[in-house]
Amino acid sequence: MDTRRRPGASRAHRSLRACGTLVAVAALLVSACSAGSSTSSASPAGAGALRALPEVTPSELTSYYGQRPTWRSCGAPGFECATVKAPLDYAQPAKGDIRLAVSRKKATGPGKRLGSLLVNPGGPGGSAVDYLEAYAGIGYPAKVRARYDMVAVDPRGVAGSEPVECLTGRRMDAYTQTDTTPDDARETTELVDAFKEFAEGCGQRSANLLRHVSTVETARDMDLVRAVLGDDKLTYVGASYGTFLGATYAGLYPERVGRLVLDGALDPSLSARQLNQDQTAGFETAFQSFAKDCVREPDCPLGGTKTSPDQVGRNLKAFFRQLDSAPVDAGDKDGRKVGEALATTGVIAAMYDEGAWPQLREALTMAMQDKDGAGLLALSDSYYDRDADGQYANLMFANAAVNCLDLPAAFASPAEVEAGLPAFEKASPVFGVGLAWASLNCAYWPVKATGEAHRIEAKGSAPIVVVGTTRDPATPYPWAQALASQLSSARLLTYDGDGHTAYGRGSACIDSAINLYLIEGTPPQNGKRCSAT
């Protein structure tokens, strides 16, 4: 799945770990649901806990931990960039290095500097460096930026840190248009072939790297960067998949936990199939909220004021079926038309942030009434991180690489998907079929998964703040409850509202609680709730 943080439709319409964004989204692991929509928030029986690493840094890693990076001006004014080396394989450091891109914006004052604050927007596959320079380094509360050096590290395999590569832009265009709701054996074969082509492309272009982009390895990189920056403990704000990365860090290095905020949390104890099914339910919950909002507006193309949310969903699904057989033009210079796959991605992209709902209404009106798919195509392109020249960032490549390494595949064959369809359709009548089939992609991955579902307890760590949004589409609220119940020192902070993640999205209650924790070290009371009003 794709669980990127989306800071707001007007700022950046992207960010998370998705369930398989249609073909691409399927690989993600954790993304978002709302309260009551998750099919299971309990840890599976017998799931082991992540074990902490030894407190003493191994001698073979001493040279890495002792680095002193060379900083240079980069990006917007006030930002500095550097490169930090990490071992490609922590088990065998002599096998070679990987270079990590790091960016920072120093504390502005007034007030005593508190150290470094690392941020991660999610994914897996989201560029933390881009997020810092476009949003966090200038948009985080001034009182936080005054006291902390704002720092970002692109995870290994992502953006500036030796990115995973898989398909050309032209082949990625074809991939994103592949039908993820196959109607017969021929269409099933076409979908499987698309997954295989994607996996083979990654295997050919990034063979060595694919074995070393796990979340555990990236968490170890974060500890190395912590030391290089001169911080005794890690202070960190992670959103969406970034919560899994932060929780993994806490599990590996509980004694090095400073102030950790995990916003839009994942449940690490769930299998890939359960995560994708839960996320499917989360998108349905978000869609129900959108449907209720839509019919109150005079320009809603899916129904009037008396139309129920379920009927709105049936109307949208009927429109998707029309696009399946008759895609609409979008005025695209590369000749792409909007069929069911791209339209579904566009709708899902708008579920991350309620601020995008008016844009979605307009895009659906254009497509349904004017046979113009340009609006839906723009939403879909923002989700896939495709630029106007037809080039894709490596977001979806890294997304699949990390997800397929972290957990065994959700489904091993088309037959397994077909058997699982009823559960996914129950989770979401609108999106269930497509997201179930999208969850098949890791079945053909060229590298065997090295991780497995596990609890994270981080016994002995300082208090960790876990944030959950009740109607989150990508990371269902029950996941936050589950992670908070696993972490020995967790404080659960709840936002009763819509959208993906909560910090910095307009709730003064949420923001003040997190700001107080980051600046004064005072965590919110466990169970504190904030409402949207």
Active-site annotation, residues: 240, 472, 500
Give yes or no for a cis peptide into 110 (omega within 30° of 0): yes
Length of the chain as a residue count: 533
Mention every residue, 6+ apart, whose C-beta is less than 8 A from residue 405: 210, 211, 213, 214, 447, 449, 450, 451
Buried b or exposed e, range 136-146, using 16+ CB within 10 angstroms = bbeebeeebbb
Reported in sequence order, the residue ranges of 231-353 that DSSP labels E, i.e. its strands, are 234-239, 257-263, 328-329, 337-338
Q: List the end-to-end C-alpha distance of the chain, in Å, as a whole number.
A: 30
Mention every residue, 6+ apart, whose C-beta is less than 8 A from residue 77: none
Q: Which residue has the tokens 């269409």?
A: 187
Q: Compute CA 78 distance to the chain's CA centroid, rounded to the nearest angstrom.
A: 28
8 Å CB contact between 435 and 20: yes
Cα dihedral 360→439→270→212 (10° resolution):
-110
d(CA 52, CA 460): 10
Whole-Å CA distances, 431 to 31, 317, 428, 437: 14, 8, 5, 10
d(CA 435, CA 364): 20
443: left (phi over 0), alpha (psi -120 to 50) or beta: alpha
Radius of gyration of the chain (CA): 22
8 Å CB contact between 117 and 151: yes
Mention every residue, 6+ apart, whose C-beta is less than 8 A from residue 343: 319, 320, 323, 367, 373, 376, 380
Long-range CB contacts (within 8 A, 24+) of 375-379: 375/346, 376/330, 376/338, 376/342, 376/343, 376/346, 376/347, 377/330, 377/332, 377/336, 377/338, 377/342, 377/346, 378/346, 379/13, 379/345, 379/346, 379/347, 379/349, 379/350
What 3-state DSSP class applies to 21?
strand
Which among 449, 433, 348 is positioned nearest to 400, based on CA atoms?
Answer: 449
Cβ-count burial of 425 within 10 angstroms (0-12 exposed, 13-18 middle, 19+ buried)? middle
Q: Which residue has the tokens 């071992």?
A: 87
- Identity of residue 373: G
DSSP code at position 131: H
